[in-house]
Structure 1
Amino acid sequence: MKILVIPTTDWIRHPVPNRLNFIFDILAEKHEVYVLHFNLENFKNNRARKTACTLIDTKFIDVKDPSLYYLLNWPKHFLKMREIIKKEGIDVVLSANILPSFIINFLNVPVVFDYLDHLEESAAIYYPESFFGKIVKNGVRQITRYNLRHSASVITVTQELKGFLEGIRVKNIEVIPNGVNCNLLRPLPKEEAKKELGLKGNVIGYVGSLEHWVDLEMVVEALPDLEVSLLVVGPGLFTDYGEKIKEMANKLGVSEKITFTGAVPYEELGTYISAMDIGLNTLKKMDKNEYAAGGKVFNYLACGRPVLSSRTISLVRMLGDNLFYYDDKDGFIKETKRILETPDNEKKYRELAKTFDWEVLAQKYEEVLRRAT
């Protein structure tokens, strides 16, 4: 097959690779995969990752605001998509973006939409508690629903998101969850990993983007009641959420208990996760978090670490008692202490992660794309 991918963000310089990066680097081994490459200003100085896909450059107008970027650059995106579809004879398009996905509907090629998140809420979260955020949310809702209803097929990550899509009259929905590269992320001896990173004692850790859908506020508030240090691995993307967490830690007098690493290459995450006694999936109460299930949970499991997560509908249904859950700060403190007193079960978590390996999930993607053609 000849496949055109319209990703959510910069394909090679976004600091956190997402599911499409892993899936289509695997599929590129036996298919021709072209990727519409968005050169986002925020990430231009980041190290570029290698990819097996062919990148289609769309550089036109540079702006930092992500919504404005797509609004200003849509004519260039349209021309590039039309050109590559005609020139290469594209069989099917996989899209996870909002405005470019709307444009592709007019180019007479089957489209599979990857609804990997509650997109209207995800787009608005970059403008917290603002009037513009409400405008973005409403606009994204209308465009996304048009895209979904005009797609040949839709892929989503949980049964909860599938139920939501069925409720807005979307058809041909396939559930393919997030996953992990179990070859790159492996358990390392915990004490050796701690020593390498200069950590001591009990370590709880968070891996992922620092944005307003994350609830690190509650974790920082709990630190005075716990004999642990907090390891935060990941970058801020478009907002100052990470800086606000640092300010909060200073006010509470717990800054010395927290280590912020910034962005870390995916292939090096194994050391950081292996240094943790508990991997955290701390999320605010919102539809985006209730219905989706991000990849960080599987990263922790691949390294054999127990996961303490906000209690969300999707994760309870998908992974059940394989994770630990909390509902509030007191519950977080109680569960953290309980996990630290529980014997390690590294092998169990590792075996669970293997059932969500990207190699397994890529085959399911391939089947959906073939049916769409």
Structure 2
Amino acid sequence: MNILVIPTTDWIKHPVPNRLNFIFDKIAQKHNVHVIYFRLKRFENQTPRKTKCKLHDVTLFNMDDPSSYYLANSFFHFYKLYSIIKKENIDVIVSANILPAFLANFVKGSKPIIFDYLDHYEESAATYYPDTFFGKIVKGGVRSIIRYNLIKADSVITVTHEFKRFLNSVGARDVHVIPNGVDTSVFEQLDTEEAKMSLGLEGNVIGYVGSLEYWVDLETVIEALPELDVKLLIVGPGLFTDYGEKIKELAEKLDVIDKIIFTGRVEYDQLYRYICAMDIGLNPLKHVKKNEITVGGKVFNYLACGKPVLTSRMTALENLLGDSLFYYDDKYTFAKIVRQILKKDTENEKYIEIAKKYDWKNIAEEYEERLFIAAVNEDNT
């Protein structure tokens, strides 16, 4: 098959690889995968990741702000999408972006479009402009475009059954659930104390791996630190907002800044060293719809390293993994459960076995089957 992927962001330089990176680098071993390359200025100094996919640069005007970037380049994106679909004889299109996916509807011809909807984008887009009038405009505009994309898509792929029900409620048809996952071949298991020593850590360590953005709830974690004898390891970059600076200010106000280690960005293939140094992996999320109905990849990263996961109580996550995880509701239950976990022996093998069920290799095979069905259905019409 000749597959065109329209990703959410910069394919090779975004600090946090997207699920489509993992899936389509595996699918590219058997098929021709073409990827629209959004060369975002914000990430131009990042080290590029290797990819097996063929990239098509579609950037005419380069700028930091994501909304401005897509608006300024929209006519060029329209032209490039049309050209690539024709020139590369594309069989099926997978889109996970907002405005480019909208444009693809007008140049795809008879080619089927699968919309990969793994996030509640109207909330995600608005968080880049917290507490602003412009943020409200962005949220409304994104909602309208996404609803159009969902209705026009030949099929939709999402990550949880809760998300599927939501998508059905807004008019999406032929919705399929393919969850997030983890590359278990990358996430090795190291002895916790040895991993701590290699990073200059000691004592009890709780940790968070991921982007620092406003849908994350590190505030509750930091507010619980005065009651805990732990170090908080925060592994990941701020991307588009000042959320990282805000939580540093909170930590200083509560006089716990000395309990926190900020690493900044760490390469994906090195994350396991930091996770293995943790006694508990954290998944702290604010109670917004995008968090309630989706399940991100970091939980599987922790599990692949054999770590217990303490998470905000989120509907989709609780339904998917149940009592395999630990849940908290506020800073008091957070502190209480941290103490309980630290007193127990960790069931490393149990967590690793759970992660293996969600290996990207298995997920890529399921995704490939869905693409094949879409392409064959188009050929038969």
Question: Is the TM-score greater than 0.5?
Answer: yes
Per the normalisation by structure 1, the TM-score is 0.99
Which residue is 1:47 aligned to? 47
Q: Following superposition of structure 1 onto structure 2, how do residues 117-132 of structure 1 map, counting pairs within 5 Å?
A: 117-132=119-134
The one-letter amino acid of 2:250's match is: M
Kindly indicate whether the alpha-carbon contact (under 8 Å) linking 1:3 and 1:93 is maintained by their aligned counterparts in 2: yes
Partner Cα distance (2:104, 2:62) in 1: 22
Which residue is 1:84 aligned to? 84
The one-letter amino acid of 2:94's match is: L
Partner Cα distance (2:189, 2:341) in 1: 18
Deviation at 1:58, TM superposition (A): 1.1
Partner Cα distance (1:324, 1:74) in 2: 44
Partner Cα distance (1:160, 1:59) in 2: 35
The one-letter amino acid of 2:165's match is: G
- Per the alignment, in what secondary structure is the counterpart of residue 243 of structure 1? helix
**Aligned-CA RMSD value:** 0.6
Which residue is 2:350 aligned to? 348
Partner residue of 2:325 out of 320, 323, 326: 323
Q: Over residues 289-338 of structure 1, what are the superposed CA-to-partner deviations in whole Å (9 max), with x where a residue is unaligned?
A: 10111000000000000000000000010000000000111110111111
Which residue is 1:57 aligned to? 57
- Per the alignment, in what secondary structure is the counterpart of residue 332 of structure 1? helix
Which residue is 1:97 aligned to? 97
Partner Cα distance (1:80, 1:342) in 2: 56
Partner Cα distance (2:247, 2:224) in 1: 13
Kindly indicate whether the alpha-carbon contact (under 8 Å) linking 2:150 and 2:171 is maintained by their aligned counterparts in 1: no
Q: Over residues 24-69 of structure 1, what are the superposed CA-to-partner deviations in whole Å (9 max), with x where a residue is unaligned?
A: 0000000000000001111010000000000001121111111111
The one-letter amino acid of 1:220's match is: I
Kindly indicate whether the alpha-carbon contact (under 8 Å) linking 1:232 and 1:259 is maintained by their aligned counterparts in 2: yes
Q: Following superposition of structure 1 onto structure 2, how do residues 146-157 of structure 1 map, counting pairs within 5 Å?
A: 146-157=148-159
Q: Give the fraction of aligned pairs with identical amino acids, expressed as a percent.
A: 61
Deviation at 1:354, TM superposition (A): 0.3
Which residue is 2:10 aligned to? 10
Match status 1:26 vs 2:26: yes
Partner Cα distance (1:368, 1:74) in 2: 29
Partner Cα distance (1:165, 1:234) in 2: 30
Q: Over residues 161-216 of structure 1, what are the superposed CA-to-partner deviations in whole Å (9 max), with x where a residue is unaligned?
A: 10000111211011011000000012111011000100000000000000000011
Partner residue of 2:289 out of 280, 287, 292: 287
Partner Cα distance (1:100, 1:142) in 2: 14
Kindly indicate whether the alpha-carbon contact (under 8 Å) linking 1:36 and 1:57 is maintained by their aligned counterparts in 2: yes
Kindly indicate whether the alpha-carbon contact (under 8 Å) linking 1:153 and 1:368 is maintained by their aligned counterparts in 2: no
Partner Cα distance (1:91, 1:76) in 2: 22
Partner Cα distance (1:18, 1:331) in 2: 32
Q: Over residues 127-168 of structure 1, what are the superposed CA-to-partner deviations in whole Å (9 max), with x where a residue is unaligned?
A: 111111111111111100110111111000011110000111
Q: Over residues 200-235 of structure 1, what are the superposed CA-to-partner deviations in whole Å (9 max), with x where a residue is unaligned?
A: 000000000000000111111110100100000000
- Per the alignment, in what secondary structure is the counterpart of residue 11 of structure 1? coil
The one-letter amino acid of 1:45's match is: N
Partner residue of 2:141 out of 125, 133, 139: 139
Partner Cα distance (1:62, 1:87) in 2: 25
Partner Cα distance (1:187, 1:327) in 2: 29
Match status 1:67 vs 2:62: no
Match status 1:228 vs 2:230: yes
Unmatched 5+ stretches in structure 2: 376-381
Partner Cα distance (1:89, 1:263) in 2: 38
Deviation at 1:251, TM superposition (A): 1.5
Per the normalisation by structure 2, the TM-score is 0.97
The one-letter amino acid of 2:124's match is: S
Partner Cα distance (1:186, 1:113) in 2: 33
Partner Cα distance (2:296, 2:170) in 1: 23
Partner Cα distance (1:252, 1:328) in 2: 17
